[in-house]
């Protein structure tokens, strides 16, 4: 019940108090231009994570965005990370 009540409120306020750390955009741009495959793995719902990243104009740098609702087991289980690696076509090491 709490999740159903809180989810719409959470969605309305996703980016209100969220800020980027200094230098993040520049670092991601540098890595992207260097050909480094990047993605985001979070326990947030995938649509919420994508919306936040879109808000900051970061999605073009990312080959994978995996939210907690895309996997059965949340972090620290490796499921989301393995899914992101698969989407990035990167072999785990």
Print pLDDT tens along the chain (93 aa). Answer: 567 777 777 778 888 888 999 999 999 999 999 999 999 999 999 999 999 999 999 999 999 999 999 999 999 999 999 999 999 999 988
CATH code of the domain covering residue 45: 3.40.50.1000
Give how many domains the chain has, as a whole number: 1
Q: Is residue 69 part of a domain?
A: yes
pLDDT at 25: 93
Calpha distance 7→3 (Å, rounded): 6
* pTM for this predicted structure: 0.85
> Which structural domain range is residue 67 located in?
2-88
Is residue 63 within 8 A of residue 25, CB to CB? The reply is no
């Amino acid at each position: 019940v709490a999740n159903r009540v809180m989810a719409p409120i959470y969605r309305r306020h996703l980016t209100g108090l969220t800020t980027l750390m200094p230098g993040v955009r520049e670092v991601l741009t540098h890595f992207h231009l260097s050909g480094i495959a990047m993605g985001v793995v979070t326990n947030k719902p995938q649509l919420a994570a994508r919306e936040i990243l879109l808000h900051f104009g970061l999605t073009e740098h990312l080959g994978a965005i995996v939210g907690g609702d895309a996997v059965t087991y949340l972090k620290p289980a490796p499921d989301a990370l393995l899914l992101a690696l698969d989407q990035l076509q990167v072999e785990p090491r």
